[in-house]
Structure 1
Amino acid sequence: MINFEFLESNQEALRTKYLTAQPFPHLIIDGFCDEEKLNRAYASIPELENKSRDYAFANNKFEKSNYKVLSPELEELYNDLSSERFNKILSFITAKKVFVDPKNHGGGLHQGKKNSFLDMHLDFNYHPINKNWYRELNLLLYLNKNWKPEYKGGLKIRDLRTDEEAELNVPFNRLIIQQCAPYTLHGYDMTNFPEGNYRTSIATYAYQIHNRHLETPRTTDWFPKEDASFFKKQLAKNYNFLVQTKNKLFGSGTAKNQ
């Protein structure tokens, strides 16, 4: 499913683009998958009904973690993403020894319906089960047919160190690799897709093994817009603590996401 030959023959250029990108390391790869197979994969995706666990800082966002059951093409994509061949390519591009979580905890198929949005946030840093796995990368494959900028929903990224921001387009068959760090925010503004069309993506995460924690483990740090309500800002300020408390009492929803 993945166009491995293209990636392997362009590794040097991809590495340079990733490491020098602003506001922080990220990479756009168009034509990431075989177009014909990805079209069949897209055709197999139903309207999702399972509300995302990001509901506190997102709107009208739905997900399916075990998307590989939907079609042979999606199963092939899932297996390609967690393959040693792909891990080797990722490690070269990022100049770090990284690997994709083979169980894809917290990832999956995401579908943003009418007026969907995702506030700017930092994702969890250490894996909920494998506590020494540090999250190095978000891998976001977009499945937005005939996408236009006026549909909105472009991936917004911001560096907390400098407040420099960029917005990346999200057309069909585009993979965006985004560095995960304590300063790498991402999200998207409210969408304006035509009726019956959804902002669709597949999220996968890559890790590096840390022999010791170099950061305090967190769940999600949430950064509402300046014009957000007082209640929303207070909830965001205490969100990480509230989720950690919930996880201690009831277990991690991300850890159960298989």
Structure 2
Amino acid sequence: MINFDKLEENKHLLREQYLTAIPFPHLIIDDFCDIEKTNQMLDLIPELENKSRDYMFANNKFEKSNYKELGSVFNEFYEDLKSERFNNFLSYIACEEVFVDPKNHGGGLHQGKKNSFLDMHLDFNYHPINKNWYRNMNLLFYLNKDWKKEYKGELKIEDLRSGVKRELDIPFNRMIIQQCRPYSLHGYDMTTFPEGKNRTSIATYAYTNHKNILETPRTTDWFPNKDSSAFKKFAAKHYNSAVQIKNKFFGIGTAKNQ
């Protein structure tokens, strides 16, 4: 389903684009999948009802982790993402060994409904089960047919070191590969999609195996904007410690998301 021949024929250029992108390494790939099969995927997507656990830091965002059960085209996409062929491509553009989590913990089909938003954040850095797996890349595949700028919802990225920001468009059949580091903020502003349309994407995560733990393991770090309420800013500041306490007594939610 993935247009592998296109990726491999252009891998030298794509590696250069990824490594030199500003504000931090990322890559935009249009026509990522076979168009007929991608249209089939879109037709099979139901109205999702499982609301995101991000609570106050996300609005009207719904998820389905096990999206491959929606149909054979979804399963084919899932299998392609975790294939050796795709892992080899990711490793080439990153200049280090990278592999997609075969169980896609924490990922899945995401649907942003009316007035959806996701505050700027840093993702968890080490895998909740495989403790030496370092989260190296976010793979965000967009299924927004006939998307227009006025709908908003662009992927916003920002480098915490420099403060440099970019907004990346999210049209249909586009893959955005984004490096994950302690400075790679991302999120999206409130959408204005018309009735009957949603901000739709499939999120997958790729890792590098670390012999030694190089960063203090963390959960999601939230960075609400300056106009956010004092309560939200307080919650963001203490989110990591609160989640660690919750995980100790009730288990890791991301680890259960299969």
TM normalised by structure 2 equals: 0.99
Shift of 1:56: 2.8
The yes-or-no answer on 1:255 pairing with 2:255 is yes
Rounded to whole Å, the distance in 1 between the matches of 2:128 and 2:228 is 30
Q: Check the 8 A contact 1:60/1:116 in 2, yes or no.
A: yes
- Report if the CA contact (8 A) 1:52-1:63 is conserved: yes
C-alpha separation between the residues in 2 aligned to 1:54 and 1:143?
Answer: 22
Query: Could you tell me whether the CA contact under 8 Å between 1:23 and 1:166 is conserved in 2?
Result: yes
SS, match of residue 255 in structure 1: helix
Q: 1:72 aligns to what?
A: 72
Instruction: Quote the Cα distance in structure 2 between the aligned partners of 1:133 and 1:22.
Output: 26
SS at match of 2:60: strand
| Runs ≥4 residues deviating over 3 A | none
Q: 2: distance between equivalents of 1:54 and 1:43? A: 27
1:165 aligns with 2:137: no
Q: Secondary structure at the match of 1:56?
A: helix
**Amino acid in the other structure paired with 1:246:** K
Matches within 5 A, 1:228-239: 228-239=228-239
Shift of residue 54, structure 1, vs aligned partner: 1.5
Corresponding position of 2:223 = 223
How far did 1:196 drift?
Answer: 1.0
Amino acid corresponding to residue 157 of structure 2 in structure 1: I
Q: 2:89 — aligned with what? A: 89
Matches within 5 A, 1:101-116: 101-116=101-116
| Number of corresponding residues | 258
| Partner in structure 2 of residue 137 of structure 1 | 137
CA-atom RMSD in angstroms: 0.4
Q: Which runs of 5+ in 1 are unaligned?
A: none
What fraction of aligned residue pairs are identical, expressed as a percent?
A: 72
Residues 1:22 and 2:22 aligned together: yes
Mapped contact 1:55–1:61 kept (Cα < 8 A): no
- Aligned counterparts of 1:58 and 1:85: Cα–Cα separation in 2: 34
The aligned amino acid for 1:71 is G
C-alpha separation between the residues in 2 aligned to 1:209 and 1:150? 41
2:202 match: secondary structure: strand
User: Shift of the alpha carbon at 1:84?
Assistant: 0.4
Aligned to 1:155: 155
Unaligned runs of 5+ in 2: none
Deviation at 1:96, TM superposition (A): 1.1
Q: Aligned with 2:255: secondary structure?
A: coil
* Alignment pair present for 1:51 and 2:59: no
Match of 1:182 in 2: 182
Partner residue, 2:245: 245
2:196 matches 1:196: yes
Q: Distance in 2 between matches of 1:251 and 1:35?
A: 40
Q: Give the TM-score of the pair, scaled to structure 1.
A: 0.99
